Structure 1
Amino acid sequence: MARLVEIAKEEPTHPSDHRMPDATIMAGRGIDLSGTMGCLDFACMQEEIEFSYPRILTYFDHVVVEGYRADGFLDRINRTKKKDLGKLIHALSEQIELLLYIRNVGLDRHIIFDRKSMRTHLCSDCKVKHGSDVGFILENLYDKKVLDEIKARLRREADVSSYWLPPDRWWFKITHEFFSEPAKVAIAGSKSRRPRREDVIKQVFEECSYGLLSDYDSSDHFKIPLAKALSASWVNAEQEVADEVAVALDLPLPSIEGMPLGDLIKLREDEQPYFENFRQALREAIRSQLEKRGSAAPQDIARAVEREYITPALADIERRLRVSRRTFAAKTSASVALGSTITTVGLIGSLPLIIATGVAATATSLTHIYKYYDDLGPVQLSDMYFLWKVRKRIRKHQ
């Protein structure tokens, strides 16, 4: 623990000046592994990663996350009494479990840890004097009457649900039209003393304000796009503009979203040429639809891409494969077992080995087998071949 404190004290408290690699995006609060507007428990973070990151890694190669902050750890250890040290040890063990999981699924090759900040809203003198004080920054960005009305409406109108998480935390979910998704906050307290609604609203307002402003500032600092997990209307008051990134992150790809992240990362690496073809085709399709429907909402353009490009391309692959299989079966004297077993994309690759042993050579003509290989060429060259393989893998395990 002493060594961990030493390391934490050496960590920077502001974003680096590193130039991020191409195809990099910043994870917004809720999915940036920091616990801000989310939970630091491993199970919660794993669920967020498995839900959000497959879609992100379909379009991007790297994700910038903040993770568990060193200064947050130092603040907590300074406030922790000796009798409560076990709780801190538990929190650290959750972080260790997260890092081991990230390594195990291969996500470590796609993650970049760096700090977030929202100090760019301040002049140089104010940065020195006020640091990242959320109250000061908000008062300089927004009219105080507006902020007071927002908090008043949250107190009056928000739907607040809660549950107690042993040994010492209350979790709250706040639903309101101000938020694109329900906001979540944790407040320390015993089971017998539920925090007041007033305290919950105050904390969710400050956490959302700080978290979202730091998202936008940090995205601008690194000059990379932002993958938002949640938005609040008083922070991003402007209507969302449809751009390539917004459309890509709204694109419904159920097969990819249904695949475990580790399997998707491995398939990306094993089928790299097909993945790159798929991603490039996706970018071109999105850009084409943006030119046609630039004023539409991102989700509408995303569904147009799915309807006019992805679905027809996948259907074409299925049609080609059905035709090829029927032709192969019709032109050979193979047994029913051979026709139903090896005439699939999944097992046809083993035919050279089978042929070498003389097993398949007596059952069917080599000419017809190689013709089957030739027919598969256009399928594998299809822009959507990678997505088709993902869908095939999902169906196999269902």
Structure 2
Amino acid sequence: MEAKLTPGRHWLLDWVDEFDVTASEQIYDRIRFATPMERLYELCESQPKTLPSVRIPHRAHTIATGYGFEIGGRSACIHPNCRRVLINDNLTRLLQFFDHVVMEGPSPLTYSDEIAGISSDADFEYFSQTLAHDVEILLEMRVNGLADYTYFLNRPNMYCRHHMMIHADQLGIGRIADPDVANRTIDRILTEGVIRVNKLEDERWSTSVRHPLLKGLPVSATWQRKEKPTKREVVEEVVAGKIAVMVSDVGAAKALQIPLAATAQTGFFDGYFGETSAPTVDDVAYHISIPILKDIGITDLLQLKRELPEEFSSFRNSLAGAIREAIERTGSKAPAEIATQVEKNYLSPAFSDLLKSSKSSARSLYRKIGTGLTLGVTSAAFGALFSMPLVVAAGVAAAATPLPQLYKFFDEKRDFEMSDMYFLWRAATRPTGTH
């Protein structure tokens, strides 16, 4: 029987609500006692060990987050500041086209292992810090509204390396789990990268790997063993971990029948997939960068989508049409290349035309009014006038402007608001720090 996913529902947020945690700083007071820790472990252990059968209510415009888009810590730094950058740079880009994302978030498997492995004050301190970071970002997702657009779904990876290869073959991505390909990647990282292994207390080792394939971000880990890990062992673990995550992500997306946003900012799997099928609209859409929407931030973007649902739908439909045309012309190119063409040949000219139209209408109206306002003031006043009901605006301007001219202006205004790019124009003219 399929379970229905609910936006914003995550097992760690259930624990947060149960123990009335409203700020990450409260974590340290809660986990000093046995009951909250026992309950946290119980929640982790109760999560499905395999991908559950679920139903997504809005699958048509939903995308799964994979490597480079996941906030759970599998592919990014767990510090809240790095996660905020990921949200504003990557998740904002997804939600400028899609309505919902499916992500894992903090993993119950990781928490189960960490709780079971606490054997010293240092272990407890590290665990406390990790928990505080996770709670902080999840609470922020509630505040900025992102949680309402996120389906959390655990993605267990229970395969040994042999069965992971079989699973990858079944998914059509066997190349990324091929031992020869993996070994070549390992050798490259060992030759070109920086691998550090440092001794900690209690037979523990801190390791980090830095390489251009990881886009400058070091991959860190802690090893619990008596003998020092070799650099090759460290790199093998990094590569195996990233392959396992990718196989898990692809498997989840295919099972849910939704697209997967992955690797856009990593480069690690570039070339791993060999020959691929022609890109889809969704494949291209998540590569498109719209600085206007990125600049207003995730909170204002989501608020604007709530305020202007029809205008957003019109913008998305128009963008999807432009992507389809670009794919038909250059279907053999990579999605990122097609996205760049759409930005250059469609988005930029269309939005530029809309801005020119808005400024032209404003100048025309104010010339008829007879004012000597500068263009900057005119544009600001035009924005304010656009937000007024017709009867109010007429009352303000009728004394200086014949009503037929004013009615013509508002006819043009209605045409302007029906433009496919009107949603972007509203984003561009939205006051900063609105919410």
Same topology, TM > 0.5 = yes
Which one of the candidate residues 102, 111, 117 is aligned to 1:79?
117
Q: Answer whether contact 2:197 2:231 (CA < 8 A) is retained.
A: no
1:324 equivalent in structure 2: 361
Q: 1:316 & 1:194 partners in 2: Cα distance? A: 63
Q: Provide the aligned length of Structure 1 versus Structure 2.
A: 377
Q: Answer whether contact 2:67 2:246 (CA < 8 A) is retained.
A: yes
Q: 1:342 & 1:234 partners in 2: Cα distance? A: 49
The Cα shift of 1:103 comes to 0.7
What are the Cα deviations for residues 180-210 of structure 1, in whole angstroms up to 9, with x where unaligned? x4564212279xx997532431222111111
Q: Give the match's secondary structure for 1:208.
A: helix
The aligned runs of 1:57-206 (5 Å cut-off) are 57-83=95-121, 84-117=123-156, 131-134=158-161, 136-138=163-165, 144-156=179-191, 158-160=192-194, 171-176=208-213, 181=215, 184-188=218-222, 197-206=231-240
2:384 equivalent in structure 1: 346
Q: Quickly say closer, same or farther: Cα 1:194–1:101, change in 2 above 3 A.
A: farther
The aligned runs of 1:298-337 (5 Å cut-off) are 298-334=335-371, 336=373
The residue type equivalent to 2:128 in the other structure is: I
Q: Quickly say closer, same or farther: Cα 1:347–1:327, change in 2 above 3 A.
A: closer
2:25 equivalent in structure 1: none
Q: 2:415 & 2:184 partners in 1: Cα distance? A: 61
Is residue 2:222 matched to residue 1:222? no
What are the Cα deviations for residues 13-41 of structure 1, in whole angstroms up to 9, with x where unaligned? 22121122221111002322221122222
Greater than 6 Å deviation, 4+ residue runs = 161-164, 394-397
2:415 equivalent in structure 1: 378
What are the Cα deviations for residues 46-78 of structure 1, in whole angstroms up to 9, with x where unaligned? 221111011101121111101111121111111
Q: 1:355 & 1:245 partners in 2: Cα distance? A: 42
2:427 equivalent in structure 1: 390
Q: 1:5 & 1:149 partners in 2: Cα distance? A: 39
The Cα shift of 1:238 comes to 3.3
Q: 2:433 & 2:40 partners in 1: Cα distance? A: 45
The Cα shift of 1:82 comes to 4.8
Q: Give the match's secondary structure for 1:71.
A: helix
Q: 2:323 & 2:271 partners in 1: Cα distance? A: 29
Q: 1:45 & 1:163 partners in 2: Cα distance? A: 25
Q: 1:82 & 1:3 partners in 2: Cα distance? A: 20
Q: Quickly say closer, same or farther: Cα 1:203–1:275, change in 2 above 3 A.
A: same
Q: 2:62 & 2:420 partners in 1: Cα distance? A: 22
The Cα shift of 1:336 comes to 4.0
Which one of the candidate residues 284, 291, 296 is aligned to 1:247?
284
Q: 1:280 & 1:299 partners in 2: Cα distance? A: 19
Q: Give the match's secondary structure for 1:260.
A: helix
The Cα shift of 1:353 comes to 7.7
Structure 1 length-normalised TM: 0.83
What are the Cα deviations for residues 336-374 of structure 1, in whole angstroms up to 9, with x where unaligned? 499837741234423668569x65444444443333222
1:48 equivalent in structure 2: 86
Q: Quickly say closer, same or farther: Cα 1:313–1:194, change in 2 above 3 A.
A: farther
Most deviating of 134-143 and 271-280: 134-143
Q: 1:162 & 1:240 partners in 2: Cα distance? A: 39
Q: Quickly say closer, same or farther: Cα 1:235–1:355, change in 2 above 3 A.
A: closer
Q: Answer whether contact 2:296 2:432 (CA < 8 A) is retained.
A: no
The residue type equivalent to 1:322 in the other structure is: K
Q: 1:368 & 1:284 partners in 2: Cα distance? A: 35
Q: What's the C-alpha RMSD, in Å, of the aligned pairs?
A: 3.4
Q: Answer whether contact 2:193 2:209 (CA < 8 A) is retained.
A: no
What are the Cα deviations for residues 249-304 of structure 1, in whole angstroms up to 9, with x where unaligned? 22231212222111111111111111110001011111112112212232332232
Percent identity of equivalent pairs: 26
Gaps of 5+ in 2: 1-36, 168-173
Most deviating of 316-325 and 282-291: 316-325
